[in-house]
């Protein structure tokens, strides 16, 4: 699976949009970008994933550049409960082996400021 690079930490004001970048310059054509987050010391929680089109769900939006070498996770109206470590993970496409062994980096520690 491709390696990802994320900033170590970020702050965001409550109510504002939080934009978390991720570089994955060695991503392959059949690899998806997944985002998980870990609140305090709980188990990681899935947020969103995408291949090459922008994606949106009830939690966040995912913007993937046209060359697919980077992406941005957007939390549109950040709340204090969004304070967490956010992990950007690249893995092989659905239907292939790989979903059982995600590779986590150190992620971005996002702090929402009141």
Partner 1 sequence: NAGVTQTPKFQVLKTGQSMTLQCAQDMNHEYMSWYRQDPGMGLRLIHYSVGAGITDQGEVPNGYNVSRSTTEDFPLRLLSAAPSQTSVYFCASSTPWDEQFFGPGTRLTVL
Q: Which of residues 60-89 bind partner 1 (CB under 8 A)?
A: 87
Q: Which residues pair with 91 in a beta bridge?
A: 32
Does 50 bind partner 1 (CB under 8 A)? Our answer is no
| Contact flag: residue 52 with partner 1 (CB under 8 A) | no
Please pick, from the candidates 1, 7, 10, 49, the single residue that binds partner 1 as defined by CB under 8 A: 49
Q: Which two tokens stand for residue 100?
A: 């059982």
**Site for partner 1 contains 53 (CB under 8 A):** no
Separate counts of helices (H) and strands (E) for the chain: 0, 9
From edge to edge, which strands make up the β-sheet containing 61-64? 18-23, 70-75, 61-64, 55-56
Please identify, using beta-carbon distances, which residue of 79 and 96 lies nearer to partner 1: 96
25, 46, 59, 60: residue in contact with partner 1 (rule CB under 8 A) = 46
């Amino acid at each position: 699976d491709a390696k990802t690079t994320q900033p170590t930490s970020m702050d965001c004001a409550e109510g504002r949009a939080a934009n978390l970048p991720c570089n994955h310059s060695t991503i392959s054509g059949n690899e998806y970008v997944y985002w998980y987050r870990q609140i305090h010391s709980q188990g990681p929680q899935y947020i969103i994933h995408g291949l090459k089109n922008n994606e949106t769900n009830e939690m966040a939006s995912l913007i993937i550049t046209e060359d697919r070498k980077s992406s941005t996770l957007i939390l549109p109206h950040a709340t204090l409960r969004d304070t967490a470590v956010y992990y950007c993970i690249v893995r092989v496409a659905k239907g292939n082996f790989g979903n059982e062994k995600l590779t986590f980096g150190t992620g971005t520690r996002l702090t929402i400021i009141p």
